[in-house]
Homo-oligomer: A and B are copies of this chain.
Amino acid sequence: MIPRYSRPDMAAIWTPEARYAIWFEIEAHATDALAELGVVPKSAAQALWAWWATKPAIDVAAIDAIEAVTKHDVIAFLTWVAEQVGDEARFMHQGMTSSDVLDTTLSVQLARAADLLIADIDALLAVLERRAKEHKLTPTIGRSHGIHAEPVTFGLKLAQAHAEFSRHRTRLVAAREDIATCAISGAVGTFANVDPRVEEHVAGKLGLAIEPVSTQVIPRDRHAMFFATLGVIASSVERVATEVRHLQRTEVLEAEEYFSPGQKGSSAMPHKRNPVLTENLTGLARMVRGYVTPALENVALWHERDISHSSVERYIGPDATITLDFALARLTGVVDKLLVYPERMQKNLDRMGGLVHSQRVLLALTQAGVSREDSYRLVQRNAMKVWESDGQLSLQELLKADPEVTAALSPAQIDEKFDLGYHFKHVDTIFDRVFGG
């Protein structure tokens, strides 16, 4: 966890205090259920909740000190709680195993993390939609392979990102559902010493599903799917970040990250405005992706469980969720305040001397009866002249001066092919698909 890449709400999920609070709630809810089943006295549960109602501070250092002796975290915690609550506390954890607490806690943490991430995506989607609609018809050049292709609108670029993150929202909801299960099934998952109704009760109270079959641990395919989903989302963060980085290049400069007045871009080159936020996002995406493979390697635990997953999750539980949360919020800020330069977009669009309309001419020639091969040749030979002039010559004019072309198309027909609006006639359709009618 890198403080500069952390936001407080997500970081709060992963503090020792937050973890111990969930531990307590699991134990106390379980004690409720055990009392209801007559396994432990109702006074035991009451004592726990009465203490909890005092909103006691959790003394992490004290628990750590006990763990230093027992070398067992859950026993250390139970011991500390017993010191606070008194004799009734001995009924806690009856028939349960440490993993019942640990794994269910991780489910709660990951579910809460997912909730924040879903909210992050919602915020991003809102900003993408606003800016997409703002630039719905702002013409800009579409580029394939980094080369000018045909016109698009800047709004379409953002609509594409919106559709992509809408999919991520769906995937994240599924991943959250996948991870949000409760296992209280005892030492090897047989419920030998704890009735399945305890699990059902605790699950219900915590808003979790029951784990159909656990083996001391909740199976790690769930976690693997969760972290893999974060890795996919991070890759789309990189995609949008890369787009901004490209647009901010000196020669392109169609958009820029917001540049606050006090900000210095470089100690050496004061004129520079660098896309440092989106470059940073590119790096953060690498990290979130990097956590996928360890999560996948965690799946194949030995027999009913080994504990190799645990150290991995101490890293990636916080690191993957905190980093992605930060990245999504940063990306939202970037898009929200992105400086967009429509004039520059138009200028770039014009700089190729009309080459971007060549496809239309090609089609028109074919439809006018010229063979595909000849059409291609005619367009290409004129296009090459424009290309080599670095946009100083005009394709439109060259075509009108080429007798083989004008044999098939009249000057008016040629002119008609250079209408920019032609390309945007279906923008409404696409926006309807993405944002609804």
Contacts and interface: CB of A to CB of B under 8 A. Distances in A.
A293 interface: yes
Interface string A394-421: 0100000000000000000000000000
Contact of A294 (B151, B289, B305, B316): B289
A46 interface: no
Interface in A159-194: 159-160, 163-164, 167-168, 171, 174, 178, 186-193
A274 B190 contact: no
Given A212-B430, A251-B351, A286-B298, 8 more contacts: A72-B266, A148-B272, A150-B188, A160-B214, A196-B429, A245-B302, A279-B308, A286-B308
Contacts of A275: 145-147
Given A188-B144, A196-B429, A308-B282, A262 B69 contact: yes
A241 B94 CA distance: 33
Nearest to A380: B270
A232 B299 contact: yes
Interface in A184-231: 186-193, 195-196, 210, 212-216, 219, 221-222, 224-225, 228-229, 231
A315 interface: yes
Interface string A252-290: 110000001011101111111111100110111111011
Contact of A213 (B296, B351, B434): B434
Contacts of A376: 264, 270
Interface stretch (A24-32, A50-58, A110-118, A352-360): A352-360
A189 B144 CA distance: 11
A427 to B, nearest CB: 7
Nearest to A91: B366
A12 interface: no
A10 interface: no
8 contacts: A78-B267, A82-B372, A142-B190, A149-B188, A192-B426, A196-B429, A271-B352, A271-B380
B248 A221 contact: no
A307 interface: yes
B147 A274 contact: yes
Given A267-B98, A268-B186, A426-B196, A238 B300 contact: yes
B242 A149 contact: no
| Interface range for A | 35 or more
A127 interface: no
Contact of A187 (B150, B241, B248, B286): B150
B307 A359 contact: no
A309 interface: yes
A294 B290 contact: yes
A328 interface: no
Contacts of A49: none
Nearest to A275: B145
A134 B214 CA distance: 20
Given A72-B264, A231-B296, A303-B142, A147 B311 contact: no
A384 B236 CA distance: 33
A364 to B, nearest CB: 10
Contact of A300 (B216, B239, B291, B429): B239
A269 B187 contact: yes
A190 B424 contact: yes
A144 B70 contact: no
Contact of A146 (B157, B168, B246): B246
Interface centre among A174, A212, A352, A390 (most CB of B within 10 A): A212
A274 B144 contact: yes
A325 to B, nearest CB: 14
A-B CB proximity, top 6 nearest: A142-B188, A271-B383, A283-B311, A235-B299, A145-B274, A270-B380
Contact of A221 (B94, B164, B303): B164
A306 B248 CA distance: 13
A7 interface: no
Nearest to A284: B311
A221 B213 contact: no
Interface in A63-110: 69-72, 74-75, 78, 82, 90, 93-98
